[in-house]
Amino acid sequence: AGAKEKEYLADKITGIRPNWGKLDGGIGYAALIAQMVENVDEWPVVLANTDFLSVQASIFWQDARGVDDETLTLLANFVASNNIQLEVIAGGTSSGAAAVDIQRFQRYYDLGGTIHQVQLDGPFQKTYMSTGQTVDQIATGIANYFTDIHNVYPDIKIGISCSGVKFWWFGMAGKASILPPECGTVGYPVCLDALKEKLDAAGDELYFLRHASIAANVSPARYLVIQDYVKSNGWLWSMQYKSGGNHTDQRYYETLMDSLHDEPYIVGVDCDMPIVQSWMAVPTTFLGEDDPYTFMNCAKDVFITKDGITNSVVYEDEDFPTTNWTFTGDPWTQTNNNLEID
């Protein structure tokens, strides 16, 4: 569970990640952080039920890409006083990436802040697409990042994102080029098995694996395969709750809320670490959790609705049992769409 007592999703580690660069007409990090801190009355439910706030590592640059010392100090004091942890989105794949991130992180630490966790953003596919490295080479680079960061900040936890259940976990046709050829029709597990081996050898471990929210027209069997794989390795299973970036605010909200009732959740897909995100340019407005279709309105309603679904007995009937399911065939083949209920 998260770091504080919560009314909603008390057994989950809950997070929010606004699109800091797009919200409120693109006014930027400094202005949005000030809004967030100075107007807590516009997001009381979200604030009380959020365990971590996610930001890009670029805010720590001491140039035009980052924010000023005063704003970072404001952020550090605010999250500490509200028992919220900070997550930072970083790269962590190229040689020297850890040294760059350490330089950025240290500025925040010098101002009194701390970082609880880092998410490496799609390191396998991004590294392969930019360098053509093998699975072993990419896994070695990621493991080296863990070691270098933990040599300076031993308490920072590190997870990675691996999205694309329709394509990159099951080697769907036409998408294999974003992962090394060794992944074959299996996809990400080949990469993750290699990374786990490297981390085990270094005495380190992956904190969480994050995936995009439930996609339409994907068998719940596939999500259950991934969930079992993640949890069998002892990692936290994190899921992004977001909608398409080309929607209106209203459509974004409606699609996001509809996704919470999709079949995979009914048959037992249940992550440990949900994070609500805006995507691309929507929602366009940041605060006002009771105002329709704002970012905070999305976050509040996801927390409340997901809490109701997770703790409800509505779906525990003979049509959608949450236990005693089995697969037909090899779970990692792209043709596996069958879920048998005992």
What's the pLDDT score for residue 266? 56
What's the pLDDT score for residue 332? 54
At residue 220, φ and ψ (nearest 5 deg) are -60, -25
- Which amino acid is residue 326, in one-letter code? T
pTM for this structure? 0.89
What's the pLDDT score for residue 311? 52
Range with the poorest average pLDDT among 36-45, 49-58, 187-196: 187-196
User: Which alpha helices (H) appear in 39-110, and where do they start and end?
Assistant: 44-48, 69-81, 97-110
In whole angstroms, give the CA distance from residue 265 to residue 220: 8
pLDDT band at 1 (very low <50, low <70, confident <90, very high): low
- Using only the alpha carbons of the chain, give its radius of gyration: 20
In whole angstroms, give the CA distance from residue 242 to residue 247: 11
Q: Is the pLDDT of residue 12 over 60?
A: yes
8 Å CB contact between 179 and 162: no
In whole angstroms, give the CA distance from residue 83 to residue 53: 11
- Please list, residue by residue across 95-130, b when 16 or more beta carbons sit within 10 angstroms of its beta carbon and e when fewer do: eebbeebeebbebbeebebebbbbbbbbbbbbbbee
Q: Is the pLDDT of residue 251 over 70?
A: yes
In whole angstroms, give the CA distance from residue 264 to residue 246: 24
What's the pLDDT score for residue 175? 53
Range with the poorest average pLDDT among 301-305, 317-321, 325-329: 317-321
8 Å CB contact between 32 and 18: yes
Q: Is the pLDDT of residue 315 over 50?
A: no
